[in-house]
Structure 1
Amino acid sequence: MQDTLVRVFVVAAGLLLCPRDNPGVEEWDDAVDEDLQKHEQMLLEGEEKLMENETSEKGIAKWERDYLWYIWNTFSIISIMRFFRKFLKRNFKTDLEETRISPRRSPEVSLPDVETLQSFYAQCVQASAEKMLREKGFLEGFANDLLEAMRTVCENNGSMLIEDFQMVKERDIIVHFAPCKPYSVRCLLGNNPVSDPLLYMQVCGQIKLLKEEKVPNGCPCQSADADDMVCLVHSESDKAKTKVADAFNGPLCSKNTPFLSKSKITRWFQNTVKQAWAQISHKYEFELSIRYVETPGALVVRFKSGKKINFSLKPVVKFNTEAHFCITPWSSRDVDTFWVLSLSVYEDRLLEHLSKRLPVNSCRDQILEIAFFLHRRQEALTGKTALKDIHFKMALMHLLLAKKTSQWQPNFATCRLQDLLSFVEESLKRKHLTHILVGNPLAEVTGLPKEICRAKPVNLFHLFVEDDCAYKNAVMHFQEMFQNAHMLIHEYVVQPRAVLNICYAS
């Protein structure tokens, strides 16, 4: 009886896991039908024989038991074969998918020689940089005018205050903001108990909103409507005691917490930009619009001539005089109160420190700017991905520590660019790129706070471990960028006038 139940279970599992309408297993169904027909014929022949020989009831029972044993064994074997066929098919599809998105560069694709690369850098990369410097003056003046209008808007609604701004790049502007009195903020570094890729690929923290409150002493002169009251106990020079408490459900805080919400800050900042632009738009002959709803301050200026300038106006909170908390994409709502700590000032300082030992006119700046240019050009063609400039800069700093100083001569530009792209490619393949500052005690030479130098190292590519879609897009982006690099560089060097507008447009 137990053997029969086991066989019934195997048959049922096989039929459930491998339904009849699944393509590729119809041949097994045909085989089953043929076996059943044979067994039915054998049953008829057996009945005739039994009728003729008039066998005993004991013999009939034994024959039926043998027949059932034969049927169940046949079904069990077929079901097991169909089950393993389905299992192997699924594994095969998974292996194909992993192989398809694995970063593999074509071996026949190579970079141009040093002379061609240097010519491309001088004629295209530097020319584009000079154009962006001219645009920097325009953006600086426009941002100053726009932020002044934003300050007026914030004074009217009384939620937050717009402070100073700073151009960290030609098209990247950070705007410091702070809460209105009696509120203040306290920046906290720490780890979130919620599992999210953002917390493993950056240094994160929370921004707690605090409120200064009066400590009641029981006197009516401290009540809210005591402005016209004269107190005979407390003189005007007596200051009421105050305390600082967590502002639960404060302005722009996450629900039931005292921590600033990134989503609410994003909506507040975008609405402030729209209201400020409505006040000053009559002074300009162009349009201003938001590029990405999810990213605060991702703006684009469109002129009547068709020309456009993309730039970013990012709201940030000061951590110290050189670092700030900012809002980045590629994070879920589970970490809405966790902000990324930008270490760009310390990264640039370390890059300069490592470059002091390099030869004069080294190829460091050249290859990094070319990598940035190719990356941004590919983004203009296929769109944004999780692969950013910081990843190329971080890979370069790893190479500066690994390579000898003599290997950074100007005539090694092609080799070092090849090394840089190969390093990024290998890091993509392993889905691992370590931030060179975080968790590195030697980074204290840059002035980085000790709690960050001694923190747990972070993997800048941890997002790719968690998000297959983001990983696939980044791999395809990198592969196309490398394949297009040779063509773009040669086309510009051979026909500079024809490609001039393309380089400027990027």
Structure 2
Amino acid sequence: MDSWVFWFLLLQSMVQYLQPVDDGLDEVTCLRMEARAKLQEQEKIRLEREVEQLTLMQSGTSWGGDLLWSALQPWQVWAFAGLLVLLAVWFMWRKRSHKAEISDEKEKEKQKEEEEEDEIWAYDLRWLLDERIQWPVQDLQTGCNRTMALIDNFTSVIGRALTGTFYPVLQQAIGFGSAFEGWTARGEEVVYHVLIPLSPPLGHTFHLERDNDQQKPGRNFRVRVKLECSCPREHPGVNLLCFLHHPDVVRRRTQQPNLLDSLCTSFFLDVQKIVLWFCALVRASWRCLPQSRSWHLVLLASTRSCNLRLNNDQESFLIKVLFGVRRHASDIFITSRPRGAQTPSIMWPETYAVAETKFFRHMARQAPQDSSHIKCLQLLACVLAHKDFSIHSVKTIIMRLLNTIPVSRWHRRYFLLQLSDALEQLRLSLEEKHLEHFILGNQRLPEEIRLPQDVRRAKPPNLFHGLVQDPAAHSQAMQAYLDLHHRLARVLAYGQF
């Protein structure tokens, strides 16, 4: 528009200041020129009007916009601006929602692929564990239930027979060991271990004395038996049935010896005498038990335990009965279990087997239903069968891993990973010649496992202490580990032990 106005003004100036070229023009020419001048003047006026109209139209549009904005109220302006903001936010939200939908679809596809991979992996692992590897076929739970029912019947019948005597009182039996933990080694007969706690009879007390002989391995005790007064407190010595004050009178009237006279040696409870005494009671009471109608009982010779072999036409099983004294109402006992070939008959080694079994039961309740820790331990035990290597060392490593690795990580799909962790821990322990005891000094056990204060605060002993002093034993243990590793690879590859 500005360029058009410029050319119009230029034409106007040219017409306005145009001068005649020749004064001697004829009249006709002058008339033509005057007529032409009038026409140009009219055209000029017309063009000026059009320019004015165009200018008015442009200014009118601008004024209309200004009038429109000036007519709006401030809240209307803010409302309009808010609407624009909401529209922008809505557009951005739709854009992000679309991206999120796409991302969710990709995540679902990825999760579906992972689930399919897990199913394939679970199938492969199930094929490896259940079909490829030949596991022991014993029904351990049935065997444990049958064992505890039998021993409970024995203690009930024997307990009634001992009423009014001064022999030890038999407490409720406790199952412990690998069978009660849910695993066993391949190629070995399952032995069901049972502990029968003993408590002192009337007029007697048990006092545990620690054996501080450093030459003997482990923590060992003696059980000193003392007679206690059964007289009224205000009149000590007047009760004629008090073993402490009138032992001869008690023997004459009851026709029963006191515990010191029957099952002790030099005031200490004698393991071998207790075993012989209990075996005699088992023989005498066997016919009173309902199991005698379907099973045949054989007592196997042993000096520190009562071993019962039961068999019929279809099957046979072995029970090893140990005796013990509980320490301070805890899960720690001193027992008749031997410690070495020359364990004295008055020595009662401290055992932690009951606490370990209780730990495995606790983990069975906490771990996933398809947990791999028992399979892992059982596979190692099967490979180690008849080898010069302590399965208790491997069991200790598994217990330590159970106590540190979250229970969710023991799912069956992590079996090979946990097996690898156990082997690595075993290798490091052998190289360092150091593996700490699991129960002694352990401050991170479940609360349900009760320990005496001296056990809880004790410095955990090194289970591989012997390897430090004997280089030949260390070399032999390392070779056993290499054999273990080779046999495991063979088992996983071919299913052959």
Shorter-chain TM-score range: 0.5 to 0.7
Give the Cα separation in 2 of the matches to 1:409 and 1:349. Answer: 21
Task: Tell me which residue corresponds to 1:210.
Answer: 226
Greater mean deviation of Cα atoms: 153-162 or 348-357: 348-357
Write the letter of the residue equivalent to 1:454. R
Q: Is 1:179 aligned to residue 200 of structure 2?
A: yes
Following superposition, the deviation at residue 133 of structure 1 comes to 1.6
* Cα distance change, pair 406–374 in 1 and its aligned pair in 2 (3 A): closer
Write the letter of the residue equivalent to 1:135. G
Query: Please, what TM-score do these two structures have when normalized by structure 1?
Result: 0.53
> Which ranges in structure 2 are unaligned for 5 or more consecutive residues?
1-120, 181-191, 251-257
Q: CA RMSD in A?
A: 4.8
The equivalences for 1:166-315 within 5 A come to 166-168=174-176, 170=180, 171-188=192-209, 190-199=210-219, 204-213=220-229, 251-254=262-265, 256=266, 258-277=267-286, 283-290=292-299, 293-305=302-314, 307-315=315-323
> Which ranges in structure 1 are unaligned for 5 or more consecutive residues?
1-112, 228-246, 494-498, 500-506
Kept in 2: contact 1:267–1:296 (CA 8 A) = no
Residue 173 of structure 2 aligns to a residue in which SS? strand
Kept in 2: contact 1:269–1:296 (CA 8 A) = no
Kept in 1: contact 2:225–2:268 (CA 8 A) = yes
* Cα distance change, pair 136–124 in 1 and its aligned pair in 2 (3 A): farther
Give the Cα separation in 1 of the matches to 2:165 and 2:239. Answer: 30
Corresponding residue to 2:461 among 439, 453, 458: 458
* Cα distance change, pair 148–431 in 1 and its aligned pair in 2 (3 A): farther
Kept in 1: contact 2:225–2:260 (CA 8 A) = no
Q: Deviations over 1:420-451 (max 9, x none)?
A: 13433543565542113423445585543322
Query: Please, what TM-score do these two structures have when normalized by structure 2?
Result: 0.54
Give the Cα separation in 1 of the matches to 2:259 and 2:165. Answer: 20
Give the Cα separation in 2 of the matches to 1:142 and 1:488. Answer: 37
Task: Tell me which residue corresponds to 1:438.
Answer: 440
Kept in 2: contact 1:434–1:460 (CA 8 A) = yes
Residue 198 of structure 1 aligns to a residue in which SS? coil
Kept in 1: contact 2:133–2:491 (CA 8 A) = no
Kept in 2: contact 1:301–1:309 (CA 8 A) = yes
Write the letter of the residue equivalent to 2:264. C
* Cα distance change, pair 424–312 in 1 and its aligned pair in 2 (3 A): farther
Corresponding residue to 2:452 among 449, 452, 458: 449
Kept in 2: contact 1:395–1:423 (CA 8 A) = yes
* Cα distance change, pair 312–374 in 1 and its aligned pair in 2 (3 A): farther
* Cα distance change, pair 410–158 in 1 and its aligned pair in 2 (3 A): same
Kept in 1: contact 2:150–2:291 (CA 8 A) = no
Give the Cα separation in 2 of the matches to 1:418 and 1:313. Answer: 36
* Cα distance change, pair 463–298 in 1 and its aligned pair in 2 (3 A): farther
Q: Who wins on radius of gyration, i.e. which is larger?
A: 2
The equivalences for 1:312-327 within 5 A come to 312-319=320-327, 320-327=329-336
* Cα distance change, pair 226–122 in 1 and its aligned pair in 2 (3 A): closer
Task: Tell me which residue corresponds to 2:426.
Answer: 424
Residue 263 of structure 2 aligns to a residue in which SS? coil
Corresponding residue to 1:145 among 141, 149, 153: 153
Kept in 1: contact 2:128–2:492 (CA 8 A) = yes
Task: Tell me which residue corresponds to 1:370.
Answer: 376
Kept in 1: contact 2:294–2:312 (CA 8 A) = yes
